[in-house]
Amino acid sequence: MPPNPDALSPGDAISLDDRKWAALLGNDSDALADMLADDLVYIHSNARIENKASYLESIRTGVLEYRKIEISDQHGLVHGSTAVVTGRAEIELLAHGRDRRLHIRYCGVWVAEPQPRLVSWQSTLVPPPASTAR
């Protein structure tokens, strides 16, 4: 079977993920709007669910203002025209007027048709290391 010209490579998936993080750091809601699918399901680390319109509104109005993002353990997996990106992130942001520091694991699902778009996002808080003091 010939390769699918619409398929993403693992490197493409990671590049898309990096572009999304850069847009968040730049509070660039226009760039984000181009990357997010109209039927996006965005699940925050506190279990709050947003769609594309509500998430973009949070960015545009400053309800969420990302200040620092450090990514690690980033991996891209591809299945046909769908890519899954997982990783860890250390995030500093202003959320609803409060300074927050988050350490998360995340999973984003990108679909390549007709252009790559993020269709699903979910993040989970990483608990702090257990204390060894007795």
The CATH number of residue 108's host domain is 3.10.450.50
Answer yes or no: is 131 within a domain: no
Answer yes or no: is 3 within a domain: no
Q: Is the pLDDT of residue 77 over 80?
A: yes
Q: What is the strand order of the sheet 49-50 is part of?
A: 49-50, 36-43, 117-125, 98-111, 82-95, 64-79
Answer yes or no: is 67 within a domain: yes
Strand partners, 110: 83, 118
Answer yes or no: is 130 within a domain: no
What dihedral do alpha carbons 77, 80, 82, 85 form, nearest 10°?
10
Looking at residue 2, its pLDDT comes to 36
- In 3D space, the residue among 123, 110, 91 whose CA is nearest the CA of residue 15 turns out to be 110
State mean pLDDT over 65-75.
Answer: 97
Answer yes or no: is 4 within a domain: no
Looking at residue 3, its pLDDT comes to 45
The whole model's pTM is what?
Answer: 0.88
Rounded percentage of the chain residues whose pLDDT exceeds 70: 93
Answer yes or no: is 50 within a domain: yes
CA atoms within 13 A on the CB side of 8: 27
Answer yes or no: is 18 within a domain: yes
Domain that holds residue 103: 10-125
